[in-house]
Structure 1
């Protein structure tokens, strides 16, 4: 499954949709490599997504390892994505990073090729990328809009790996959210950050962009998660991505951010986030009870709060904060993504579940006491009827 939109607030609203190509259509990329389309599997932004494989005499089946995104050539989102993929997502570049940083995998989709295709007198732009499975937004809804605490911290760690990589390659993502996080098609314990339609080159050739507010660009991104910088019309930077990640982790753990009741009012959302930055502790108290408050997320947001527009984040320090959170609940990053609460109480609603369980046990104890009282009444009345006790004694013992 793939996200339907790259975000809100950028580019023309009216764009042409790509026409659907028949299965078997062959596209040739700029490297002269041919790719064959299979069945369409969805719509992403203003393009269509197809199963695909390297060109051969075989039909592209349901197990195809690639996906091809196709858009009319005069549309913008795919062109923006392509610039990121061609500069930062080539397979050998990702492999080299993984080797030097000793990571098992990196959740950045690999770029396999791109080009232009003509059909019926029209030109289309296309890009070949890895195939993925379901998105985390679907898993979030299926989980009752709560993820276990262990899972949230693991996702945070995976995203720190991803963000450090793309930041070091001069880009920021600017639209991190559950619907842009996809599980691997082959390994459900691996998660990938997709949809780089709003990706921004914050440091071309190593030269950092300057802070500049532009009213025409206010509120770019997805309103509930986008950064304060974006609300002010400032181009995204590294701290923007980390701020967005903080909001995501809080929502995944508590179900709903405080400003989600008024998403149509962008100024209200912006001001709510400003108050959050001014007092992170108060923000956390709005999201969690005192027993459920995850200290590591507050520390994470406090650390991000210290960053200036051009600062390089201390990625390892942020990782250590999340790892300490795992340790505090008796868990560790075992590379297993479990979407249901585990039995050792590290789920998001473990405290609430304990309260409910306690009430259920108290109710059962009350029912047992009532039953004993009824039996006692029956015994006393029967004893009185049989002449075993006097009326006075019956009244003295009828104290329940």
Structure 2
């Protein structure tokens, strides 16, 4: 799993993070329960540190068929520490196995946690974590497919993510950053998909007590700007409905190629207000994204249910699954366990709209000429990871409450609400 894109803001100051030095293949790390792990070649790097192939320590070298990866970062850095807390509490193999058994699931797309600890080298201390090794991420598949997935694949992914989200929600966490680059296929079975990167994961209900709704101007727009929830845009801590709202945007993006607000991602208030308008009139939003003959009714129904969820409500996961399963039946299909990532014939969105969006993106860009050129080349798809901030910060004076987001105690009804690659 690759590192997180850099995020702006005092709480996560990438420029101040120290980079981990690269350890040689064969370096042995010992975790907190005295189990030894041997490092292989590094397969990813980022602002927090490095990711290595790894196996349990033995006389053999760690090869390309390694079963595990180890994330390593200087101990004073923060991202891995946050992610480690989630894995230690909610991703132990026995927890996942018991959940699968109780729900009669053949697989659950949460990487398993195998160990962690501190390692000293050259007078410096490093934090490390051992998890399952996975394969390619869905952003690569999305681009290979012309930045559109088939309706069947999107509905299948939605069903898999409902299983994953129900699991992590019932273990007191929300993910807060669901997107194609944070979804990875199994190394051994390309039909299995895993949700990764828990660096923004939030413990919304410690010891079963749900956090109260509270807007914090310093935290506005956390997450990936085009997909994050209205709760996050307003500076409120993420909750279960936040994850499901993000899932809605993901499914629409995967089906039609782009979201209507992707032209002005440099303006977080515009993106927030566009999402509020979307939630207030989901039917109109669907018309913007799809032609009449290709409009997926199940996605609109799914969004309507998510809109009705209160900040502290437990989502109706089974009802949402039923909606997606009905969508599969409407196209004479079913979740057969096979993810077929093939280019979609034809287009679901109007070429005229795409041209207009491209023009607007060029006119409103605040980037330099080379960035503008990149936008032109990437106009038919999701943002380039290198150009899209995970978090945008605006002056507190501009962070006004807009729309019809419910008060913290509201339990229902209208709300306007509100990287990973492994070898």
* TM-score between both structures, scaled by the size of structure 1: 0.85
Match of 2:2 in 1: 2
Identify the residue that residue 104 of structure 1 maps to in structure 2: 106
Conservation of the 8 A alpha-carbon contact between 1:4 and 1:43: no
- 1:291 is paired with a residue of what secondary structure? helix
- Structure 1 CA distance for aligned equivalents of residues 62 and 139 of structure 2: 28
Deviation at 1:351, TM superposition (A): 7.0
Q: 1:351 to 1:278 in 2, by over 3 A?
A: closer
Shift of 1:13: 2.8
State the shift of 1:57 in Å: 0.6
Would you say how many aligned residue pairs link Structure 1 and Structure 2? 348
- Alpha-carbon deviation of 1:11? 1.6
The structure where helix makes up a greater share of residues is 1
- Which is bigger in relative contact order (C-alpha 8 A, separation at least 6)? 2
Say if 2:291 and 2:348, in contact at 8 Å, map to a contact too: no
Structure 1 segments, 4+ long, off by >2 Å, are 1-10, 347-352
- C-alpha deviations, 1:268-303, integer Å up to 9, x for none? 000000000000011111110011110010111110
Distance 1:34-1:285 versus aligned 2 partners, 3 A rule? same
Structure 1 residues 324, 7: closer, same or farther in 2, change over 3 A?
farther
Q: 1:182 to 1:93 in 2, by over 3 A?
A: same
Structure 1 residues 89 and 54: CA distance shift in structure 2, 3 A: same
CA contact 1:8–1:222 (8 Å) conserved in 2: no
Distance 1:39 1:105, change over 3 A: same
Alignment match, 1:247: 249
**1:326-368 deviation per Cα after TM superposition (whole angstroms, max 9, x unaligned):** 0000110000000115xxxxx574779xxxxxxxxxxxxxxxx
Residue 76 (structure 2) aligns with: 74
Unmatched segments (≥5 aa) in structure 2: 350-423
Q: Supply the distance in 1 between the matched residues of 2:131 and 2:97 (Cα, whole angstroms).
A: 15
Q: Deviations over 1:241-278 (max 9, x none)?
A: 00000000000000000000000000000000000000
The equivalent of 1:122 in structure 2 is 124
Residues 1:168 and 2:170 are matched in the alignment: yes
Aligned 8 A contact 1:8 1:223 in 2: no
The answer to whether the Cα contact below 8 Å between 2:7 and 2:14 also exists between their aligned partners in 1 is no
Kept in 2, the 8 Å contact 1:3–1:180? The answer is no
Higher Cα radius of gyration: 1
Aligned-CA RMSD value: 1.5
CA 1:110–1:6 in 2, change beyond 3 Å: closer, same or farther?
A: farther
CA distance in 1, matches of 2:156, 2:117: 36
- Distance (whole Å) between structure 2 residues aligned to residue 335 and residue 249 of structure 1: 18
Q: Is structure 2 residue 95 aligned with structure 1 residue 93?
A: yes
Does 2:169 correspond to 1:178? no
Q: 1:328 to 1:255 in 2, by over 3 A?
A: same
Distance in structure 2 (CA, Å) of the matches to 1:74 and 1:186? 34
CA contact (8 A) 2:6 2:14 kept: no
SS at 1:49 equivalent: strand
> Are 1:4 and 1:44, in contact at CA under 8 Å, matched by a contact in 2?
yes
* Partner SS state of residue 14, structure 2: coil
Shift of 1:5: 2.6
Question: Would the alpha carbon gap of residues 302 and 348 (structure 1) be closer, same or farther in structure 2, given more than 3 Å must change?
Answer: farther
Give the corresponding residue for 2:14.
13
Note the residue ranges of structure 1 that are not aligned, 5 or more in a row.
342-346, 353-400
Contact preservation (8 Å) 2:50, 2:71: yes
